[in-house]
């Protein structure tokens, strides 16, 4: 006899759509605040670093948001800007969780889990580390039709990350265009190759499989971001 799929509770459509926005569409900072945050991160006005910097974000990112910019040489850039005070917020939230759950009888056993969560979240706020990881994958990942953006070091600090802007639609938006089976197979093959080569040859994996982090270009090539 065949194995039946387990019954899965379905999330109401209205709630699912709201969750989906978190891929790339959370509420952005006001333009004035974003420009000030960029200035604080860079240590100078964005105009001293970029030929153009759009204070209106075009996408959300992990613990921040993404802005369009251009280098003095005219290269299109994507600038990930961290939300102000996010490190303090993470620390405050983790202290609140520990205090709330501190009376659990097995708290001593699960306390290291909270330490690990906090360490990894704080690691996410180090955009210089992310820039090094991005450069590693660009230099070492060798999958046909897969592109990793080049880091633009002049615009990188711990709270701001700047890289080449790749073309394409985020994976979930691309799927809404109803691509044919051949196109779907090509993209799925590249996603699979990225994982296999990263794990077995490089010993590192792209560990944030958010659909917004995969950009699909018109030729079905894959842009790997974040």
With H, G, I as helix, E, B as strand and everything else as coil, classify residue 178.
coil
Picking from 51-55, 77-81, 121-125, which range would have the lowest pLDDT averaged per residue? 121-125
pLDDT of residue 29: 85
pLDDT of residue 39: 97
> CB-based burial of residue 65 (10 Å sphere; 0-12 exposed, 13-18 middle, 19+ buried)?
buried
Angle at CA of residue 159, ends 197 and 121, nearest 5°: 60
**Residue written as token pair 């983790």:** 94
3, two tokens: 């194995």
For the chain, percent of residues with pLDDT exceeding 70: 89
Q: What is the DSSP letter of 106?
A: T
Dihedral angle sign, alpha carbons of residues 219, 217, 226, 164: positive
pLDDT per residue as tens digits for the range 162-184: 999 999 999 999 999 999 999 99
Read off the pTM: 0.83
Angle at CA of residue 11, ends 6 and 16, nearest 5°: 135
């Amino acid at each position: 006899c065949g194995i039946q799929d387990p019954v899965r509770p379905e999330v109401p459509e209205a709630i699912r759509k709201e969750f989906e926005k978190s891929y790339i569409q959370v509420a952005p900072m006001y333009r004035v605040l974003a420009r000030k945050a960029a200035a604080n991160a860079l240590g100078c006005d964005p105009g001293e670093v970029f030929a153009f910097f759009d204070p209106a974000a075009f996408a959300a990112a992990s613990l921040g948001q993404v802005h369009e910019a251009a280098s003095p040489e005219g290269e299109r850039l994507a600038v990930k800007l961290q939300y102000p005070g996010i490190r303090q917020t993470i620390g405050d939230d983790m202290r609140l969780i520990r205090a709330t759950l501190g009376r659990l009888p097995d708290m001593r056993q699960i306390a290291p889990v909270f330490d690990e969560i906090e360490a990894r979240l704080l690691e996410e706020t180090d955009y210089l580390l992310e820039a090094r990881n991005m450069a590693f994958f660009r230099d070492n990942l060798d999958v046909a039709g897969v592109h990793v953006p080049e880091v633009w070091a002049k615009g990188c600090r711990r709270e701001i990350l700047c890289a080449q802007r790749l073309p394409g639609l985020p994976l979930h938006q691309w799927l809404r265009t109803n691509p044919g089976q051949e196109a779907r197979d090509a993209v799925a093959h590249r996603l699979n190759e990225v994982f296999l080569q990263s794990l077995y040859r490089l010993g590192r994996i792209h560990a944030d499989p958010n659909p917004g982090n995969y950009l699909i270009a018109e030729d079905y090539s894959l842009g790997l971001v974040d």
